[in-house]
């Protein structure tokens, strides 16, 4: 099977909103370690595509494989479980469980992803991302850059094969954006995760060899 | 990290609605549990005192009054009956034993009963000090009477006419305290016991003493047959009245029942309000939490896990409310114990739960579960993708 070599592969993905016209996405595929940038202006369906890739919404037509599994053929609950195990998310606005502190938010991702709760690993991620000092703090005490770094730690805490990042830097200034992106790439590689970033942020284009334009 | 920990954190991070809910649950459980405990103790208290008494014979009048006065010593007697007639009845072959009671006098509001030692045996009473009375004007004093009047063995006191404090004093015959009873939780605790002759002699100057009288006679039957035929015989063929304590107590409890069932409804209402409070605060917070719940789903949580998380939050509150409510009611009873044991001899363990309380726990849990169900079901319908993308824009 050809698709086994790929971490992510799509085929003839189409999404249609109830009222609007159909969105046709180009086919693309990426191998382990080949980070992918998907760029496009706002409104072309970047977030929709990312949610399809992460199994947050159901595929209407076309196919998606993550690792060697055809995710577009799974049931909703199978997708939930599969997502927890294999996929990490980073959103534009980093959001957390407000009642939990920084470290517990990372541990919660491990819990809901049905992974072993690995406190030491979580702490190592926090310290590599420079926010270990905030482990016991509430998440709303963090700055924008720190929140995005926590989001990275959370996404990687389940050792996913694939990290899907939706505009991870667009809410940050130039300095912070580059810092966060570098950390994201570095930590993803260190933990064996393949990165797929969707963005309209042109600052990121120079950093990625593989790019898809919508 | 687990659902229970996350649920508890969710509750404690927004404490005010939780506190309101908790107060209502605590009050409801405490009220219901108090009702069960006091009701149960009242029931026990009443049943304890009729143990071994199948029938009471006294002067004609209200049967309930006869029972209240002769068994519980809380009402005035219906009058006196001739001793000879009572002794005649006691010879009936259906009767196993009888205890004669003569009363009408008191000391500081506590009744003085002229009777045989059998009366103390009826309630398994034992002496805390001194000895039993043997001669007229010797007395054995119940534990509560001894405590409140500071009576000790060897003390003397004068009786007063009537059951109330401040009756005419009988100053010519002092009583001598020979013994003091151990607390028994029965009616004896509040009585002063003496020989019937003491009562007769005190009143001997009041008119002629041609015929000796007693106030009431407690009867124990040989078998159930007595229950059927004896009351009718007494009521129809003698100048006396027979009353069955079990029937009269049931009648009395039917009177109580209205009050108790009203209180029960109040307790249920408060519990129900607690459940409504769970429902309202959860539905309310759902709006604010929808994004967070979607986020949790994006981490791989299944619908059912999110559902369970909401239910767990309600259950945590419910269990806490039950715990606090039971604590309040048991501590309250404990504080009330001194007063209550005087009234009806309540004694309640801090840790043991009665069957009624287990029922309260079940009802509370069920109500809370029901209240959480609708908010929890709503979380099943969350469109994760929609919620997450609406936040980004």
Asked if the model's pLDDT at residue B35 lies above 50, the reply is yes
Contact: B300, A80; criterion CB under 8 Å: yes
**Structure tokens of B37?**
């405990």
CATH architecture of A33-45+75-213: 3-Layer(aba) Sandwich (3.40)
User: What pLDDT does B392 receive?
Assistant: 47
Coil vs helix vs strand at A43: coil
Mean pLDDT value of segment B109-126: 90
Asked if the model's pLDDT at residue B320 lies above 90, the reply is yes
Contacts of B391 in chain A (CB under 8 A): 91, 93, 95
Q: Give the mean pLDDT of chain A.
A: 86
Contact: A167, B6; criterion CB under 8 Å: no
- Nearest 5°: the CA angle B352, B355, B357 is 75
Contacts of A78 in chain B (CB under 8 A): none
Window 354-393 of B: residues touching A by CB (8 A cutoff) are: 383-386, 388-389, 391-392
Half-sphere exposure of A101 (CA within 13 A, CB side): 11
Closest chain A C-alpha to B295 CA, distance in angstroms = 8
User: What pLDDT does A2 receive?
Assistant: 46
Please, which residues bridge with residue B179 across strands? B130, B140
A99 touches chain B (CB under 8 A): yes
Percent composition of chain A: helix, strand, coil (DSSP 3-state, to 5)? 40, 25, 35
Contact: A95, B291; criterion CB under 8 Å: yes
Contacts of A85 in chain B (CB under 8 A): 300
Contact: B302, A100; criterion CB under 8 Å: no
Q: Give the mean pLDDT of chain B.
A: 86
Contact: A91, B388; criterion CB under 8 Å: yes
* A–B interface: beta-carbon pairs under 8 A: 91
Read off the pLDDT band of B204 (50, 70, 90): low
B208 or B280, which is more confident: B280
Total-model pTM: 0.74
Distance CA B98, CA B108 (A): 29
Q: Output DSSP code: residue B116.
A: -
Question: What are the two backbone dihedrals, phi and then psi, of residue B304, each rounded to the nearest 5 degrees?
Answer: -65, -35
Contacts of B13 in chain A (CB under 8 A): 98-99
B308 touches chain A (CB under 8 A): no
Contacts of B387 in chain A (CB under 8 A): none
Tell me how far apart the 2 most distant CA atoms of chain B are, in Å.
Answer: 108
Contacts of A108 in chain B (CB under 8 A): 1, 6, 296, 299
Asked if the model's pLDDT at residue B323 lies above 60, the reply is yes
User: What pLDDT does A3 receive?
Assistant: 42
Mean pLDDT value of segment B256-278: 85
Mean pLDDT value of segment B354-359: 88
Which candidate in B3, B6, B15, B298 is best for mutational testing of the A interface (most A CBs within 10 A)?
A: B298
Alpha-carbon separation of residue B6 from B1, B308, B340 (angstroms): 7, 11, 44
Count of CB atoms situated within 10 Å of the CB of B387:
18
- Tell me the per-residue pLDDT of A161-207, one tens digit each, with 9 for 90 and over: 999 998 888 878 888 888 888 888 988 888 889 999 998 888 888 88
- Tell me the per-residue pLDDT of B42-75, one tens digit each, with 9 for 90 and over: 777 777 778 888 999 999 999 999 998 888 888 8
Cβ distance A107 to B1 under 8 Å? yes
Distance CA B203, CA B223 (A): 37
User: β-strands B138-141, B169-181: how paired?
Assistant: parallel
Contact: A97, B389; criterion CB under 8 Å: no
User: Sign of the C-alpha dihedral, residues B171, B173, B176, B182?
Assistant: negative
Contact: B303, A51; criterion CB under 8 Å: no
- Tell me the per-residue pLDDT of B18-27, one tens digit each, with 9 for 90 and over: 898 899 899 9
Contact: B300, A99; criterion CB under 8 Å: no
Look at residues B42, B341, A154 and name the one whose alpha carbon lies nearest to residue A146.
Answer: A154
Sequence spans of domains, chain B: 3-47+254-392, 55-243
Contact: A80, B385; criterion CB under 8 Å: no
Name the closest residue on chain B to residue A154, using Cα atoms.
B299
User: What pLDDT does B339 receive?
Assistant: 64
Coil vs helix vs strand at B182: coil
Asked if the model's pLDDT at residue B393 lies above 70, the reply is no
Name the closest residue on chain A to residue B293, using Cα atoms.
A97
Mean pLDDT value of segment B188-215: 79
User: What pLDDT does B340 receive?
Assistant: 55
B142 or B287, which is more confident: B142
List of residues 6+ apart from B77 with CB closer than 8 A: B58, B59, B66, B69, B70, B103, B104, B215, B216
Asked if the model's pLDDT at residue B292 lies above 60, the reply is yes
Contacts of A77 in chain B (CB under 8 A): 302-304
Window 265-294 of B: residues touching A by CB (8 A cutoff) are: 291-292
Residue B349's Cβ-count burial label (10 Å; 0-12, 13-18, 19+) is exposed
Distance CA A94, CA A155 (A): 11
* CB-based burial, B191-227: b 16+ in 10 Å, e otherwise: bbbbbbebbbbbbeeeeeeeeebbbbbbbbbeeeebe
Which candidate in B13, B16, B296, B300 is best for mutational testing of the A interface (most A CBs within 10 A)?
A: B300
Cβ distance B362 to B269 under 8 Å? no
User: What pLDDT does A171 receive?
Assistant: 79
Contact: B10, A99; criterion CB under 8 Å: yes
User: What pLDDT does A106 receive?
Assistant: 93
Contact: A110, B1; criterion CB under 8 Å: yes
Asked if the model's pLDDT at residue B376 lies above 80, the reply is yes
Closest chain B C-alpha to A130 CA, distance in angstroms = 23
Q: Output DSSP code: residue B109.
A: T
Count of CB atoms situated within 10 Å of the CB of B81:
24
Asked if the model's pLDDT at residue B118 lies above 80, the reply is yes
Residue given tokens 């912070």 in the structure block: A176
B209 touches chain A (CB under 8 A): no
Judged by average pLDDT, the poorest of A169-173, B44-48, B352-356, B366-370 is B44-48
Distance CA A13, CA A40 (A): 16
B167 or B91, which is more confident: B91
Closest chain A C-alpha to B294 CA, distance in angstroms = 10
- Tell me the per-residue pLDDT of A108-123, one tens digit each, with 9 for 90 and over: 999 998 888 889 999 9
A3 touches chain B (CB under 8 A): no
Closest chain B C-alpha to A21 CA, distance in angstroms = 18
Alpha-helical (H) ranges within B158-208 are 196-202
Contacts of A152 in chain B (CB under 8 A): none
**Structure tokens of B103?**
């009363």
Closest chain B C-alpha to A170 CA, distance in angstroms = 11
Contact: B301, A97; criterion CB under 8 Å: no
Asked if the model's pLDDT at residue B90 lies above 80, the reply is yes
Coil vs helix vs strand at A72: helix
Contacts of A95 in chain B (CB under 8 A): 291-292, 295, 391
User: What pLDDT does A4 receive?
Assistant: 47
Coil vs helix vs strand at A91: coil
Residues above pLDDT 90, as percent of chain A: 20
Distance CA B94, CA B378 (A): 71
User: What pLDDT does B271 receive?
Assistant: 87
User: What pLDDT does B346 receive?
Assistant: 54
């Amino acid at each position: 099977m050809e698709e086994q070599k790929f971490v992510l592969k799509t085929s003839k993905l189409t999404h249609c909103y109830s009222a609007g016209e159909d969105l046709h996405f180009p086919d693309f595929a990426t191998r382990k370690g080949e980070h992918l940038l998907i760029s496009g202006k706002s409104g072309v369906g970047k977030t929709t595509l990312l949610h399809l890739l992460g199994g947050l919404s159901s595929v209407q037509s076309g196919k998606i494989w993550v690792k060697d599994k055809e995710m577009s053929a799974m049931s909703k609950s199978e997708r939930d479980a599969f997502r927890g195990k294999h996929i990490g998310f980073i959103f534009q606005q980093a959001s957390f469980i407000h009642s939990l502190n920084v470290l517990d938010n990372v541990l919660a991702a491990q819990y809901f992803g049905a992974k072993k709760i690995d406190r030491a690993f979580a702490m190592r991620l926090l310290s590599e991302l420079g926010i270990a000092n905030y482990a016991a703090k509430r998440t709303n005490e963090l700055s924008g850059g720190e929140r995005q770094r926590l989001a990275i730690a959370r996404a990687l805490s389940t050792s996913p094969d694939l990290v899907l990042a939706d505009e991870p830097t667009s809410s940050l200034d130039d300095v912070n954006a580059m810092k966060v992106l570098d950390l994201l790439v570095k930590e993803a590689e260190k933990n064996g995760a393949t990165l797929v970033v969707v963005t309209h942020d042109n600052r990121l284009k120079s950093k990625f060899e593989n790019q898809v334009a919508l | 990290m687990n659902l229970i920990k996350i649920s508890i954190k969710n509750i404690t991070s927004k404490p005010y609605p939780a506190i309101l809910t908790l107060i209502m649950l605590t009050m409801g459980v405490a009220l219901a549990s108090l009702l069960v405990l006091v009701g149960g103790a009242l029931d026990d208290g009443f049943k304890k005192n009729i143990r071994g008494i199948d029938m009471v014979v006294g002067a004609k009048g209200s049967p309930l009054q006869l029972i209240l006065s002769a068994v519980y010593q809380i009402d005035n007697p219906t009058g006196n009956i001739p001793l000879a007639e009572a002794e005649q009845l006691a010879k009936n072959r259906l009767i196993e034993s009888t205890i004669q009671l003569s009363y009408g006098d008191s000391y500081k509001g506590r009744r003085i009963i002229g009777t045989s030692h059998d009366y103390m045996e009826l309630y398994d009473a034992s002496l805390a000090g001194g000895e039993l009375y043997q001669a007229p004007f010797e007395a054995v004093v119940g534990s509560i009477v001894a405590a409140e009047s500071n009576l000790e063995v060897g003390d003397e006191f004068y009786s007063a006419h009537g059951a109330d404090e401040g009756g005419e004093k009988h100053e010519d015959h002092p009583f001598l305290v020979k013994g003091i009873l151990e607390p028994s939780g029965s009616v004896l605790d509040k009585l002063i016991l003496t020989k019937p002759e003491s009562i007769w002699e005190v009143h001997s100057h009041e008119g002629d003493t041609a015929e000796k009288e007693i106030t009431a006679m407690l009867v124990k039957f040989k078998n159930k047959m007595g229950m059927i035929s004896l009351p009718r015989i007494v009521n129809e063929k003698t100048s006396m009245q027979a009353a069955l304590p079990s029937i009269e107590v049931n009648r009395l409890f039917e009177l109580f029942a209205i009050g108790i069932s009203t209180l029960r409804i109040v307790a249920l209402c408060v519990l129900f309000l607690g459940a409504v409070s769970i429902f309202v605060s959860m539905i309310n917070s759902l709006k604010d939490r929808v994004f967070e719940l979607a986020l949790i789903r994006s981490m791989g949580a299944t619908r059912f896990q999110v559902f369970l998380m909401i239910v767990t939050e309600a259950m945590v509150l419910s269990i806490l409310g039950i715990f606090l409510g039971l604590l309040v009611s048991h501590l309250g009873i404990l504080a009330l114990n001194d007063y209550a044991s005087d009234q009806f001899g309540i004694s309640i363990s801090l840790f043991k739960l009665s069957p009624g309380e287990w029922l309260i726990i079940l009802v509370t849990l069920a109500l809370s579960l029901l209240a959480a169900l609708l908010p929890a079901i709503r979380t099943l319908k969350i469109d994760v993708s929609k919620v997450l993308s609406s936040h980004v824009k």
